[in-house]
Structure 1
């Protein structure tokens, strides 16, 4: 393949669903055409907005607080700039400082790997967990189509005994037992951290009226309670978020139509909570459409000229 083939591919033939392809090609170009999968994964993470937002949050917490306390860094709000206060003037001091940082990083990673030597949940177990969660985060409800989903240990592996067992719900089970696993998206999993033992599996959620009967028809015995007042309103808002994520993840018009219908049903239920009937809600929509228009002209406001 000639270099012009690469240019032709980049100019005309590259079809993208995300930034992955150009990031990988650029990284290979920067490293004389060769990279390890770890190096490429690191490059991709630098262009993942969810990853960036998460680590921007991290930077402003423990590292900033600790390093500022010791007089190592300073932070200027105007421009969001960090500065190293004792910046070494001599190049040899800077090289030695970087080598010490590398040594600290390597030592920490080796210690972390030794703590996490418990066997990983196998591919078949991962599949079953994702299937049970319908390929969605069991905390925020976002779909795997939108954000990568991790398999999280409810009781962290760091709390397992020497036999790889943990206590969960009064039972001693293997740390990788499906009962100790849940599906969380990248952001929720990182926010949870390795000391949190919260079980986010969405057993408690609002369902349509006929779902309990459908579950019983399968020979199961669902535990159902009736919500009222604020509890119902809160559950409806959670359902609205869930249905919105499902709409974004739907791949064809048929499924989009179904998810839009689900959203509409939740909106009608919320309207009832706020004292407005379905007909009145549709009338409000019509009045607002007449006064301010719909979205048929696809107008996108970008500010004022001048």
Structure 2
């Protein structure tokens, strides 16, 4: 364990700010020992990760900038043998010479990683925020406009009405969604992935962002969920943006959940900075949801913004798996 932060002497009035900074820096140094990969079980406990993988045990394995972590889903329907596994992907996005090349390169990487997660017995793969398009805080809106796709809404009651973009062959399924659907279907694993959804402003004339001076579109930081048979289960537009000036914040008041058929447990869905706010995370908890999938692109920053701390505290307060 890291050494305890140095104790600060009672500050004199003129030294108060300096003393606070000394304590803060020492506290931050201790926190830097925490893992970048933020996963927490009920009550904020870290998941147990055995050294080697078996049919029922999780494992970690690093390969360059990609790593998988698998953990048990508590409360899943199969309590007699072993609980289903969820694989969490940490991924450094690959950047191509064009927007389409960037998307295809990262989908290619996802394909091999989904196969590996399925081979280890995982039933759900949660990938990272901006993992397909790349994350660049210095980019402008035009950059993400080129990386965006027109994602269709999910069908009504997707658990019963199974629409599989991989089998569709229609214009309603943009290429990235179709590839994710085929990836999930071929590997028999549900996938949560992050894309940029482009919506025509003519469908939302009352939105403040749809002003004549704008480009005529809304861009949403979006999670999509494909089930293990390739069915399109869920689409979620991020509400609480964080340093994403190129995106539009969703104003939807609809809580998004999904139930992978191979797991049989309902998951709540949100993204990164959403975990800090009451909507939608805590409202999902109030609805009885106790398992969550949260793609994120969160850097280790100041002590109060360490991702692992937020994930563990939210998990502990809600008695939930995040």
TM over 0.5: no
* TM-score tier (shorter): under 0.3
Q: Which has the higher helix share?
A: 1
- Whichever structure has more strand as a proportion of its residues is 2
TM-score where L is the length of structure 1: 0.25
Q: TM-score, normalised by structure 2?
A: 0.24
